[in-house]
Amino acid sequence: MTRAFIPRLRARGRGGMILTSSVEALIGCPWSAAYSASKALVRALGEALWAELRQDGIDVLTLCPGATDTPALARMGLDAARMPHVMPPAAVAAMALDRIAEGPTLISSEHYRATFDRLLAMPRDQALLALAARMR
Ligand SMILES: NC(=O)c1ccc[n+]([C@@H]2O[C@H](COP(=O)([O-])OP(=O)(O)OC[C@H]3O[C@@H](n4cnc5c(N)ncnc54)[C@H](OP(=O)(O)O)[C@@H]3O)[C@@H](O)[C@H]2O)c1
């Protein structure tokens, strides 16, 4: 997708892209290893492109949502109505569009931003074990 769009945005001299990653990109999330790894790839891609494309006037925002009330949650057997700190998808999308020029990375949920700030300040082994217990 980025290969397809970047030449067109470059030719136009302006534009923007939002790459949807996840808060699970911020650390290897136990019990969600493959998803977490795939989202880490998206984050690395988006952040690198943000730096590469600034000189071309192209905004790149890597969006890291927390829990968002989409059909994906129901498919995982989760009931959004019973989960705390779930955001409506329209609010996440609006925030991303609003802040597209403020890249490189946006954690759309204040709750998850605070949680991951605390988690990432911990020694990595302790953070991973705390997360493993919580995610299970
Ligand atoms: N929901 C969350 O809590 C959450 C949290 C963090 C990050 N995310 C990320 O947010 C993104 C959207 O997730 P979601 O929760 O909205 O999931 P979703 O409810 O499953 O929606 C996924 C969307 O992607 C489309 N899609 C899937 N495969 C596609 C393909 N090969 N080509 C084109 N479109 C395709 C689907 O289209 P159809 O309906 O036509 O199949 C659907 O509209 C994902 O990258 C997910 O990892 C979600």
Please give the model's pTM, rounded to 2 decimal places. Answer: 0.95
Just give the CATH number of 14-135.
3.40.50.720
Instruction: Give the Cα-Cα-Cα angle 96, 97, 103 (nearest 5 degrees).
Output: 60
* DSSP β-bridge partners for residue 87: 68
Q: What is the pLDDT of residues 40-59, one digit of tens each?
A: 999 999 999 999 999 999 99
Tell me what the mean pLDDT of segment 109-122 comes to.
96
Q: Which atom of ligand 1 is nearest to the CA of 68?
A: 3
SS3 for 52?
A: helix
What's residue 129's pLDDT?
97
> Where along the chain do its domains lie?
14-135
* DSSP β-bridge partners for residue 58: 15
Q: What is the pLDDT of residues 86-115, one digit of tens each?
A: 999 999 999 999 999 999 999 999 999 999
Q: Is the pLDDT of residue 135 over 90?
A: no
Ligand 1 centroid distance, CA of 119 (Å): 26
Ligand 1 contact, 108 CB (< 6 A): no
Tell me what the mean pLDDT of segment 19-35 comes to.
97
Which residue's alpha carbon is at the smallest distance from atom 21 of ligand 1? 72
Ligand 1 contact, 32 CB (< 6 A): no
